Structure 1
Amino acid sequence: MKKFDLQNDPKIGSGFKTPDNYFDRLETQIMEQLPQPKARVIPLWQRSSVWMSSIAATFLLVAGLSIYYNGQRNSVKSLDDTTVETYLQANVNSYDIIQHLDESDIKALEKTIVLNNDAVEAYLSDHNNLDLYLNE
């Protein structure tokens, strides 16, 4: 076998050659050969089925929203006073209530609450904090 040297041996041509500007003209030639489709345009809003379905969808949307909001309103009315009072007694303490009062609420409460000395002494004796309050 004959020795083969890529650097020094003469190169063999491929035998194929593209014409000048072949790839520049290729796209336009292919597009010219394609048949031109004739598109038929049908306006969507002139069909009666589109109008009927849009009216039906609007009616269903309005009916669904009105049923949803009426159901919400009825569920709020189902709470009675005893249920709310029981929930508040179980979940809210007096410190939480005090934090949400402002000056006008406190003044209104001061006008409605009447304290006498006997009630204060009874409360302090019941809670065994009399010594604490008297020392301060």
Structure 2
Amino acid sequence: MKKFDLHNDPKIETGFKIPEHYFENLEDRIMNQLPEQDVKVISLWQRKSVWISGMAAVLVVSFGTWFYFNQQSTELSVSSQEYLAYSNDITTEEIAYHLTDEDITTIEKELGLYDTESETYVNEYLN
């Protein structure tokens, strides 16, 4: 393979030539060929409404998450404090003594102790 010496070898002509003064008025010729377009006007109020609605959405989400986590933490802290305060000193008889009838019915509803299936099972077992 023949070695190339770029500094000493004669240059090869490409065969392409640029007409004289081609770049001087190129921009004017291109702009004349483009069709006229109407400029789209966007009012500032439309942009403001997008920003306002975006900020409102962020505020709603942030307050919602803050309220959700704050509510969970207060419920957990109250129950843990009550548990620590009474875990060693109180017995089940003392708990039953302090419960009202409304508390007992609420507990029964939450636990589902008196379902119709449970009542029929107990009645059949006792008979």
- TM-score calculated relative to the size of structure 1: 0.34
- TM-score calculated relative to the size of structure 2: 0.36
Larger Rg: 1
